[in-house]
Amino acid sequence: MYKILSKRMLTDTIFEMKIEAPRVAKAAMPGQFVIIKTTDKGERIPLTISDYDREAGTVSIVTQAVGKSTMELMTFNEGDCVSDFVGPLGCASDLCELPVEELKKKKIIFVAGGVGAAPIYPQVKWLREQGVDADVIIGARDKSLIILEEEMSKVAGNLYVCTDNGSYAFNGRVTDLLKKLVTEDNKEYNHCVAIGPMIMMKFTVMMTKELNIPTIVSLNPIMVDGTGMCGACRVTVGDEVKFACVDGPEFDGFKVDFDQAMRRQTMYKTVEGQAKLKFEEGLSHKNGGCGCGGN
CATH 3.40.50.1820 fits 94-218, yes or no: no
3 state DSSP class of 284? helix
Peptide bond into 249 cis (omega under 30): yes
d(C-alpha 60, C-alpha 155), whole Å: 17
Mean pLDDT score of the chain: 87
Q: Which of 157, 160, 158 is nearest to 180 (CA)?
A: 160
3 state DSSP class of 239? coil
pLDDT digits (tens, 9 = 90+) for 77-128: 999 999 999 999 988 999 999 999 999 999 999 999 999 999 999 999 999 9
pLDDT digits (tens, 9 = 90+) for 204-248: 999 999 999 999 999 865 566 666 666 667 788 898 888 877 888
What does each C-alpha distance from 175 to 76, 160, 189, 225 come to in angstroms?
Answer: 36, 12, 14, 31
Fold match flag (2-89 vs 94-218): no
CATH of 2-89, one of 2.40.30.10, 1.20.1560.10, 3.40.50.150, 3.20.20.210: 2.40.30.10
pLDDT digits (tens, 9 = 90+) for 266-283: 765 554 445 544 645 566
All structural domains of the chain with their residue ranges? 2-89, 94-218, 223-295
d(C-alpha 8, C-alpha 19), whole Å: 12
User: What's the pLDDT score for residue 292?
Assistant: 38
pLDDT digits (tens, 9 = 90+) for 2-15: 999 999 999 999 99
Question: pLDDT grade, residue 290 (50/70/90)?
Answer: very low
